[in-house]
Structure formats: structure tokens, C-alpha cells
Amino acid sequence: MKTFMQKKEAVDRKWYLIDANGLPLGRMATKVAHILRGKHKPTYTPHIDGGDFIIIVNADKVKLTGNKINNKMYYNHSGYPGGLRERNAKTMIESYPVEMVERAVKGMLPKGRLGRQMYKKLFVYAGADHKHQAQMPTEITID
């Protein structure tokens, strides 16, 4: 029996909508990364981007468990001496909720060209509105 290898031209992509209201950030990010990679499909092929598109709404209402809201830190560096900027999760969720969710998902995707290609299929919005109504996304729930 031959091993099935999917062709990139034959990938069938769907659109999914996830409401992040009250969902734990890490658990949601793992499910989203799983769908972006295409591992939920029987046609999964590791070297092909066979995943689906994902729209995440209400990113500002995502939940962090434990004391992560105060202790979890996010770091950026400008590349210049003394250019390290650090923010805690409370600042990120108040001012940059979209970036916080995107970082969580991006960290769970493969590194390299293929991971960057998968990341482009993720759309995150802080509020309940999004501009992808024409794609008729299917709403999915994460337990």
C-alpha cells in the first residue's frame, strides 16, 4: 500500500470562526494551530500547507489562568543597546489583545517558510465584528 501524499493544488480549504470569549489562551491556541496545520484532516501531509482559514473574534476577552495576568511577560528588542521592551500580560490584554493571541498561535506553528505560510491564514479581531462574512465561516466551539 502506498503512502498518500497530498498535492498543494488539491487542498480544499474551509473557513472557521472561533469566539475567544472566556476561552483559556493556551488551549485555544493549540486547537487553532492544529487546524492551521491541517492535522484535523485525514489528508494531512507534513510538508504541505493543508490547513484551513481561521477567524478569531473577541480576542480582548480571552482568559488567562492562574496568576499569568501579572507574571507572564512579553519581550521585544529593537536591536539597539538598551532596546529591550517588556510588558506583562495585563498590559498586553488591555492594549494589544490581537498581538497577544497571534503570538500564542504563532509560537505553536512550525518555524520556517511553511510555518509563515500557515500563519497567513489566521485573522484575529479584538471585537465581535470581522470582515470575512462573504466567506461564510463555520463557527466551531473549543471545549
pLDDT, position 58: 97
Is the pLDDT reported for residue 143 higher than 90?
no
83 located within any domain: no
87 located within any domain: no
pTM of the entire predicted model: 0.93
Span 87-115, average pLDDT: 97
**Domains of the chain: total:** 1
The closest alpha carbon to 17, from 74, 59, 65, 76, belongs to: 59
Is the pLDDT reported for residue 1 higher than 90?
no
Is the pLDDT reported for residue 92 higher than 90?
yes
CA distance 104 to 25: 7
pLDDT, position 54: 98
Contacts with 109 (C-beta within 8 Å, 6 or more apart), sequence order = 33, 36, 37, 115, 118, 119
Structural domain including 31 reads: 11-64+93-139
Is the pLDDT reported for residue 4 higher than 90?
no
Look over the chain and give the mean of its residue pLDDT values, rounded to a whole number: 96
85 located within any domain: no
79 located within any domain: no
CA distances from 11 to 35, 40, 82, 132 (A): 13, 13, 46, 20
69 located within any domain: no
Interval 21-79: pLDDT, tens: 999 999 999 999 999 999 999 999 999 999 999 999 999 999 999 999 999 999 999 99
118 located within any domain: yes
pLDDT, position 37: 97
Cα angle 115, 121, 122; round to 5: 95
104 located within any domain: yes
121 located within any domain: yes
Domain of residue 40, CATH code: 3.90.1180.10
